Amino acid sequence: MQSLPGIATPLEDVAAWQRQRGELPARDRLTPDLLALAQNGATILIGAQLGGRPTVGFGVCCRALPDGQLRILLSRSGNANVLAAIAEGSRVAATFTGAPSHRAFQVKAERAVIGAATQDDRPEAERQAQLFCDGLTEIGFTRDLAAGWLALDLGDLAAIELLPERVFTQTPGPGAGAELPR
Amino acid sequence: MTALTLDGLRGSMEGVYASMLATCDAEGTPNVSMISQVHYVDPEHVALSYQFFNKTRANVMQTRMAAVQITDPATFSHHRLDLDYVETQTSGPIFETMKAKLAGIASHHGMDGVFRLLGADIFRVLRIDAVPGPTLPPAEPRRLLASTRQACAELAAAQDLETLLDGSLRWLEEHYGIRTSMILMLDGEEERLFTVASRGYARSGIGSEVAFGEGVIGVAARERTAIRIGHMTREYRYGTAITETARRAGLVSGDAQTIRFPGLSTPRSQMALPISGAEGLLGVLFVEDEEPMRFDHEDEDALAIFADHLAARIALFRREEAEEAESAEPESAPEPGGQTLRFHPHDQSVFLDNDYIIKGVAGAILWRLVRENRATGRTEFTTRELRLDPGLRLPAHAENLDARLILLRKRLEERRTCLSIEKAGRGRFRLNLACGLTLIEVDPDQGATA
């Protein structure tokens, strides 16, 4: 196996988690590394279950709240399926992937709460969208392709809030998917 | 039932964007991840790349359900597909196509060796939903159907095999703007192909060989399926493998007997399509470009039709040639002397002085012609007599004599030798000698004997 400088591995994720986890108060669910990854232009995927089948959506911005919850902003019209699933009480998964490192982690929650996007969500959504485009540009996409994929529409945002109960490294490579235990 | 069709979404399955994949376990806990490939299989099925045994895989095995979201890089439209698992394939055309594509994607992202395809998971598409959001209008459709009609008309008008093969590559450039291409023909019953026509390269590489399984060409031949990649990867490079003949013969002067493959030095897009018909595989049509993602599903459709027509024309010329059976009149023999033609029976290679010309069946044909000419003075020959000559050991099926004669003619011309062969009518050809020749058959044990 060969990896380029700057490309993460799952084993590095596990080591970083163990290093940082011991120093954190129990309330904090995620390490500084993972919080930084989630809030700086990561690709945010959301999974839920609707009518007995899996369903998928995506977010445009993530904000870590003081109580340990993650607030994920997503297009309301583009994620009607995910919002319907959450409204019905579905469990939720969210995966955050950074570019160009391909470092990724997934959180799982018993449920999430749906809310409206607020005025102060918007500048943060714009900042993270900018970083998202920068990251994709670094791995060879044009800016148009990156922005087109994200399709950020500030007038059409909803928010979901969830408490990460379990955390998994999702970085590609041997050991991918391993749980990062509390 | 929705009006959306999977065929209309093939642009979202070119692998430009990674796709999103969600599954659930039996308790309803979801899992969501990026997936490198959602591969179009047919109007009702897609295949997902199975690369690691992970939670996604466990969930699929447990619940047999998945959901993916795919994105069109031209319009930015997103679509969600509800999928039911059917089966996993670990070999065959779908698997090999995905494996080649995945290797390219991995290499593009600096992930060589991290992404390895364990299986192609086939899913039935239950439902397609368009995801609302801002999109761009689709681009003006390309005129591939009209181009294909014109290119196939050119194929139909070709009068002989050599015009057909060289013309095909010219028509690819004229009608599709594809500037670098080649045609390789099957080497009899061997699992190997040799280059018989090429266009757009610094050197022609006529006679260079590709083994089955080597690069996109060798995989396309082995699997009888089109292989197309949009990012180049070391795994599918040519020219590193030693040819099977050289290996078998244990040649020491390997380089002299190996004609280098002519391909681009930094190809990013490559596509290989089998040329096959009722007779089975005849050869491979290969195109490449330095631009990434140069060829899409539509190009593959167009060139697959072109390759099928090409196969039908080749088969037709073969049948016509085989029906001709006229013999030629003896003429006067030239004097010995001038240059030396050496024949090495162990690999049937022929050298003119120290210049390597050709080996294998084409080498044996050349040696037979010059010896016959020396003995009887004949310069005109028929393809039929070659077919019936047990000394040439032509395989009973797929002997490809016509392609071998084209290969031989081109090699003699490229090496600027004093020998040439030319067509002298249907099923007939002429050997021209512009110099005297000394003929030496090399005895591998005792050195040369005249």
pLDDT value for B112: 58
pLDDT value for A6: 58
Q: Closest residue of B to A165, CA-based?
A: B29
CB-CB under 8 Å, A53 with B111: no
Region B398-403: mean pLDDT is 78
pLDDT value for A95: 97
Q: How far apart are CA A169 and CA B165, in angstroms?
A: 53
pLDDT value for B253: 35
pTM attached to this predicted model: 0.80
How many pairs of residues across A and B have Cβ atoms under 8 Å apart?
119
- Using DSSP's 3-state secondary structure scheme, residue B79 falls into strand
The listed range with the strongest mean pLDDT (A121-125, B81-85, B376-380) is B81-85
CB A86 within 8 A of CB A92: yes
pLDDT value for B264: 86
- Using DSSP's 3-state secondary structure scheme, residue A27 falls into coil
CB-CB under 8 Å, A173 with B22: no
CB A57 within 8 A of CB A78: yes
Write down the residue that tokens 């959301």 correspond to: A46
Q: How far apart are CA B368 and CA B386, in angstroms?
A: 9
Residue B133 amino acid letter: G
Residue B113 pLDDT more than 70?
A: no
Q: How confident is the model at residue B15 (pLDDT cuts 50, 70, 90)?
A: confident
Indicate whether A2 belongs to any domain.
no
Q: Under CATH, which architecture does the B339-449 domain have?
A: Orthogonal Bundle (1.10)
Residue from the list A53, A173, A177 with its beta carbon closest to the beta carbon of B67: A53
Distance from CA of A47 to the nearest CA of B (A): 5
Residue from the list A56, A77, A153 with its beta carbon closest to the beta carbon of B22: A56
Q: How far apart are CA B407 and CA B206, in angstroms?
A: 7
What percent of chain B lies above the pLDDT cut of 70?
85
pLDDT value for B87: 97
Q: Please say whether the dihedral angle defined by the alpha carbons of residues B85, B89, B95 and B101, taken in this order, is positive or negative.
A: positive
pLDDT value for B100: 85
Domain extent, residue A31, equals 10-169
Residue B433 amino acid letter: L
CB-CB under 8 Å, B68 with A54: no
According to DSSP, the residues that pair with B422 across neighbouring strands are B430
Residue B254 pLDDT more than 60?
A: no
Q: Please say whether the dihedral angle defined by the alpha carbons of residues A79, A81, A87 and A93, taken in this order, is positive or negative.
A: negative
Region B241-252: mean pLDDT is 38
Domain boundaries, chain B: 7-131, 144-323, 339-449
Q: How confident is the model at residue B110 (pLDDT cuts 50, 70, 90)?
A: low
Please give the residue that has the higher pLDDT: either B244 or B389. Answer: B389
∠B80-B85-B90 over CA atoms, to 5°? 115
Residues of chain B with Cβ-Cβ distance to A47 below 8 Å are 22-24, 30-32
Residue B251 pLDDT more than 70?
A: no
pLDDT value for B178: 97
Residue B163 pLDDT more than 90?
A: yes
Please report which residue ranges of B140-276 form alpha helices under DSSP H: 144-157, 161-176, 215-223, 244-249
Residues of chain B with Cβ-Cβ distance to A57 below 8 Å are 69
Please give the residue that has the higher pLDDT: either A8 or B78. Answer: B78
Residue B224 pLDDT more than 60?
A: yes
CB A54 within 8 A of CB B67: yes
Residue B131 pLDDT more than 90?
A: yes
Count of residues in chain B: 450
Residues of chain A with Cβ-Cβ distance to B131 below 8 Å are 78
Distance from CA of B52 to the nearest CA of A (A): 8
- Using DSSP's 3-state secondary structure scheme, residue A163 falls into coil
CB-CB under 8 Å, B32 with A149: no
Q: Under CATH, which architecture does the B7-131 domain have?
A: Roll (2.30)
Indicate whether A149 belongs to any domain.
yes
∠B255-B258-B259 over CA atoms, to 5°? 120
Burial A145-155 (b: 16+ CB within 10 A, else e): bbbbbbbbbee
According to DSSP, the residues that pair with A97 across neighbouring strands are A43, A104
Q: Closest residue of B to A139, CA-based?
A: B109
CB A29 within 8 A of CB A167: yes
Indicate whether A1 belongs to any domain.
no
Q: How confident is the model at residue B41 (pLDDT cuts 50, 70, 90)?
A: very high
The token pair at B180 is 């670098």
Residues of chain B with Cβ-Cβ distance to A148 below 8 Å are 73, 76, 136
Topology classification of domain B144-323:
Beta-Lactamase (3.30.450)
Residue B335 amino acid letter: E
Distance from CA of A20 to the nearest CA of B (A): 25
The listed range with the strongest mean pLDDT (B205-214, B254-263, B300-309, B388-397) is B300-309
Residue B410 pLDDT more than 60?
A: yes
- Using DSSP's 3-state secondary structure scheme, residue B388 falls into helix
Q: How confident is the model at residue B248 (pLDDT cuts 50, 70, 90)?
A: very low
Q: How many helices and strands in chain B, by DSSP H and E?
A: 10, 21
Mean pLDDT of chain B: 85
Residue B424 pLDDT more than 60?
A: yes
Distance from CA of A26 to the nearest CA of B (A): 24
Please choose, from the candidates B318, B385, B384, B383, the residue with its C-alpha nearest in 3D space to the C-alpha of residue B161: B318
pLDDT value for B334: 54
Contacts of B26 (CB under 8 A, 6+ apart): B62, B63
pLDDT value for B114: 60
Q: How far apart are CA B137 and CA B130, in angstroms?
A: 15
Interface test with A, best of B56, B64, B114 (most A CBs within 10 A): B114
CB-CB under 8 Å, B29 with A91: yes
Residue B84 amino acid letter: D
Tens-binned pLDDT, residue by residue, of chain A (182 aa):
333 445 678 888 888 888 888 888 877 889 999 999 999 999 999 999 999 999 999 999 999 999 999 999 999 999 999 999 999 999 999 999 998 788 999 999 999 999 999 998 999 999 999 999 988 888 777 888 788 877 788 889 999 999 999 999 998 877 888 999 87
CB A33 within 8 A of CB A167: no
Residue B229 pLDDT more than 90?
A: no
Residue B259 pLDDT more than 80?
A: yes
Residue B255 pLDDT more than 80?
A: no
CB-CB under 8 Å, B52 with A55: no
At residue B251, φ and ψ (nearest 5 deg) are -65, 140
- What is the number of structural domains in chain A? 1
Q: How confident is the model at residue B268 (pLDDT cuts 50, 70, 90)?
A: confident
CB B282 within 8 A of CB B318: no
Indicate whether A182 belongs to any domain.
no
Q: How far apart are CA B381 and CA A166, in angstroms?
A: 80
Q: How confident is the model at residue B241 (pLDDT cuts 50, 70, 90)?
A: very low
Residues of chain B with Cβ-Cβ distance to A102 below 8 Å are 109, 111
Interface of B with A (CB under 8 A): 16-17, 20-24, 28-34, 52, 54-55, 59, 63, 65-69, 71, 73, 76, 78, 80, 82, 108-115, 129, 131-134, 136
Q: Closest residue of A to B35, CA-based?
A: A172
Residue from the list B31, B63, B110 with its beta carbon closest to the beta carbon of A47: B31
Contacts of B289 (CB under 8 A, 6+ apart): B178, B179, B180, B264, B267, B268, B269, B270, B295
Interface test with A, best of B21, B33, B76, B234 (most A CBs within 10 A): B33
Q: Closest residue of A to B12, CA-based?
A: A149
Residue B447 pLDDT more than 60?
A: no
At A106, which CATH number?
2.30.110.10
Of chain B, the end-to-end C-alpha distance in Å amounts to 79
Q: How far apart are CA B362 and CA A161, in angstroms?
A: 73
